[in-house]
Structure 1
Amino acid sequence: MTLRDAAPTSRAMVVAVMVSMVAFLDSTVINLALPATEHDLGGGLALQQWIIDGYLLAMAAAILPGGSISDLFGRVPVMRFGLLAFGAGSVLASAAPSPAMLIAARLIQGLGAAFLVPGSLALINTVFDKARQSAAIGVWTGWTGTAFALGPLLGGICVDFLGWRWIFVLSAIPMAVGYALTFWLCPISGRVEGTRVDTAGVGLSAVGLAATVYALIESQRDGWTDPMVVTPLVIGIGALAGFVSWQHRSSYPMLPLPLFTFRNFGAVNLVTAFVYGALTLGSLAVALYTQEVGGYSATAAGLATLPIPALSFVFARHVGRIAARVGPRVFLVGGPALAGMGLLLIRPKPVGFHAITDLVPG
């Protein structure tokens, strides 16, 4: 391969790694900023939950149709949109004067993120030939894994020494650089003729997820009998049921349901949902508990939670190689079991909590 041949792929790799690293960093640093954010803006636990869930809701609503949208408009234009949305959301979040503005900014960030991580992988798959795709994805995984591992520590330092708003400022800068770098890429063909977007499916899934999560969060404050909780819950469940029904009938479904008739596909997705749900909830609980109950600074809390992403980063590169020899079943069973045991080893105490003895072993 000549230098001329390598140039387009090298440029694509730089862009793909940069945008995905920022998205992964944001997902790991934001938990540590929640106590400082709530202290500054108020809003209580509901605000802290919405800061996380608003981002995830927007990303979940857009990530499913994201592939079709990329096929329709092209890889690079869609990635540029994701970069602009994430960057704009970051700027708005950094200047948010109220909880409502911060939540809105997180929604915009989540919308942008839905096109960044999958878009960066799609860019790699488009630019690299099949012989080099595995190596390219390995490089991408290594750099994004580094961001995931360093996120808690960097987030804690940023909150303590610069303030929580700087987390968003520092997220916006790479987005601007990444946007400029997309014009450095060689022309890339990414459009697929005949692509259609399941707009009805997008609307039903977005309404279903948003209304249901809204009811779950607000029920803690207003109770399950309040009309402002019951109404969105009914709407959300109805929309999700409508989404499933529509996917059965749609000629171009956003989520092809027949895939779930394959036992392995359904089982793997179910395991993934439970594992990531537990780890996300555990990370949020640990970040809040170490600071608000344990009295640790954000930096100390970041150091206390560092073993989880650091060990994940170290072992992840070996798991794929071993799984190719022994099969994935061992890891699908053993991984969740080990994670569950680790969570059970965490010992929260109202008085006398020490991270070294009560948190780190888990």
Structure 2
Amino acid sequence: MHGPQPCDAGQIQAVRAPADAPASAATRRWVLVATVLGSSLTFIDGSALGVALPTIQNDLGGGPAATQWVVNAYLLTLGALVLVGGAAGDRFGRRRVFLIGIGVFALGSIACALAPDIHALIAARAFQGVGAALLTPGALALIGATFPPDRRGRAFGTWAGFGALFGMIGPLLGGWVADHLDWRFIFWINLPLAALTFVIAIRTVPESRDPEARGLDWPGALLAMAGLAAVTWALTAAPDLGWRSPLILASLLAGLAALAGFLVAEARQAHPMMPLALFRSPVFSGINLLTLLLYFALGGAMFFLPFDLIRVQGFSATLAGAAMLPFAAIMGLFSGLAGRLADRFGARLSLSLGPVIAGVGLALLAWPDPGAGYVDGPLAGMTVLAIGMTLAVGPLTAAVMGAVGPGQTGVASGVNNAVARVAGLLAIALLGVLLSAVFVARADSPDDRALLGQVMAGGDLDSVATDAFHAAFRAVILTCAACAVLAGIIGGLTAPKRERHGLK
């Protein structure tokens, strides 16, 4: 799901309090308005697009791999550059970088809306991800730089509350647009929001910098992006080209070499974007492994679920979007309560029980047979998944910030957020391989990969192909469930027993 990430609160708390006179109440209100509107671009766009993907594939063509890259291209640039984006704001001006991010995201949205084919859309989505990598940490930093420490908790709560609201609106909007208009309107909607945000930020948001900001780790960012891109491409293309293809083997080797180079660069950089010393803390390493597994499960399930709901269960895109409502509603309404429970009983209980409950919810999503309705279909699974995620996400911030020194909380929170985004990227690629393998084993067709593309695009298919896809979807969802349960086990072994929240 696209929305606030696990350690967003930690990134706000880590911003140095301004040394000059505090901002006026009016300025603080306008900063909050600008950051909410700017963040809504990524929240609405990402959540709306997921439900519209089957329609996009049907319209633009392209096989399963190309459809995966519509999401992966965005996650790739966002995940690789988000840490650099935050550092750039500290050094060159948070408002400036935030505005540049808004502009880049808006231009990317225009390119998406005008894309003549699936490959152009993929390229435009990668450009959008660059904009998101600048505006997302920029919004959090602006809140931290404008609000004094004792007011940041309420400001973050307002920002996150609107994020949950946009998380509810996005899937419904995407489904309705896909059913009644043209999926391209999902991207055109971004333009008036971007223009309004730009005007408000220019007129009302003060500029701020961190006088102690350090250099930008461009070598690390580029190596991470190159390595992830090569590995992800190999995983998504392997079902079509074969695992023994020289292109696949070369891409895997090049990607692994680039990622190894990234680790070497981070060890040698004076100001690395991901200080490896942070991982000397068993708690920090454990929490990030938990985050990787939990958001792998969530990202994979939310990508493939709309295809099953629309192609197998017979949902309209609008109804498929409505299936996401329990998730956003429960997380938005009960995140505060989950945080108070973690304060009282300790983070370890929440970080072990929450992911296990989320795993049960994911397993319930695999239960309904083809043709199930809303109530006997996704409702129970999405509700239980939301309860588990709500329990788990709140304590993550406290656990991450408590695992490192006071001067490292900002970068530690940023690393955890980047891990959550990269987890979604890896999930779509790896689970796509599993989906294809199970479908090919179950389908009776001379060209199984082409048939899989037809199922995902909504062609007229027989019951054998539909049942094969549903079996493949079940394998994917049960794998996601197992990853969530494993995340809970890791939380029980590594999470602190009792932590105080960084934000009050």
TM-score under structure 1 length normalisation: 0.95
Q: In the alignment, what sits opposite 1:322?
A: 341
- Structure 2: state its 5+ residue gaps: 1-22, 382-504
- 1:353 is aligned to 2:372: yes
Q: 1:349 to 1:321 in 2, by over 3 A?
A: closer
Distance in 2, matches of 1:289 and 1:186, equals 44
Deviation of 1:215 (Å): 0.8
Separation in 1, partners of 2:213, 2:349? 41
SS at match of 1:359: helix
SS of 2:204 mapped into structure 1: coil
Q: In 2, Cα distance between the equivalents of 1:108 and 1:349?
A: 38
Q: Which residue is equivalent to 2:34?
A: 15
What is the CA deviation profile of residues 135-166 of structure 1, one whole-angstrom value per residue up to 9, with x for unaligned ones? 11111111111111222212211211222111
- 1:254 and 2:273 matched: yes
Partner deviation per Cα, 1:92-115 (whole Å, 9 max, x = no partner)? 101110111100110011111112
Q: Could you say if the C-alpha distance between residues 186 and 64 of structure 1 is closer, same or farther in structure 2, counting changes exceeding 3 Å?
A: closer
Residue 67 (1) aligns with residue 55 (2): no
1:198 aligns with 2:217: yes
Q: How does 1:299-318 map to 2 (within 5 A)?
A: 299-318=318-337
Asked whether 1:98 is paired with 2:90, we answer no
Q: Which amino acid aligns with 2:151?
A: R
1:235 equivalent among 254, 265, 269: 254
8 Å contact kept, 1:150–1:310? no
Instruction: Tell me the alpha carbon deviations over residues 145-197 of structure 1, each in whole angstroms, 9 at most, x when there is no partner.
Output: 11112222122112112221111111232112211221112432224356211
Structure 1: distance between partners of 2:197 and 2:324: 29
Indicate if the aligned counterparts of 1:87 and 1:173 stay in contact, CA closer than 8 A: no
Q: Distance in 1 between matches of 2:194 and 2:346?
A: 38
Unaligned runs of 5+ in 1: none
Distance 2:364 2:107 in 1: 41
Aligned mates of 2:211, 2:221 — CA distance in 1: 20
Q: Would the aligned equivalents of 1:127 and 1:188 in 2 still touch at CA under 8 Å?
A: no
C-alpha offsets along residues 82-131 of structure 1, whole Å, 9 cap, x if unaligned?
A: 10111111111011101111001100111111122221110000011112
Other structure's SS at 2:208 match: coil
Q: Which residue of 2 aligns with 1:333?
A: 352
Match of 1:269 among 256, 280, 288: 288
| Counterpart-to-counterpart distance in 1, 2:163 and 2:148 | 21
Tell me, yes or no, if the aligned pair for 2:95 and 2:205 is still in contact at 8 Å.
no
Match of residue 169 from structure 1: 188
Q: In 1, distance between residues paired with 2:60 and 2:306?
A: 18
Q: Determine if the alignment matches structure 1 residue 44 to structure 2 residue 38.
A: no
- 2:321 is equivalent to residue 295 of structure 1: no
| Cα separation, 2, equivalents of 1:159 and 1:284 | 16
Q: For residues 224 and 350 of structure 1, do their structure 2 counterparts lie closer, same or farther at Cα, with a shift above 3 Å needed?
A: farther
* 2:296 alignment partner AA: G
What pairs with 1:110-149 in structure 2 (closer than 5 Å)?
Answer: 110-149=129-168
Q: Distance in 2 between matches of 1:228 and 1:173?
A: 43
Range moving further from structure 2, 94-103 or 180-189: 180-189
Using the alignment, how far apart are the partners of 1:108 and 1:43 within structure 2? Answer: 20
SS in 1 for 2:255: helix
Amino acid at match of 1:53: N
Larger mean CA deviation between 305-314 and 84-93 belongs to 305-314
The answer for the alignment partner of 1:29 in structure 2 is 48
For the aligned residues, what is the CA RMSD?
Answer: 1.6
- Pair 1:76–1:347, CA change in 2 (3 A): same
Alpha-carbon deviations, 1:260-290, whole Å to 9, x = none? 1111111111111111110111111111111
Aligned counterparts of 2:154 and 2:199: Cα–Cα separation in 1: 26
Q: Secondary structure at the match of 2:323?
A: helix
**Distance (whole Å) between structure 2 residues aligned to residue 20 and residue 125 of structure 1:** 15
Does 1:212 find its partner at 2:226?
no
- Greater Cα offset, 171-180 or 10-19: 171-180
2:405 aligns with: none
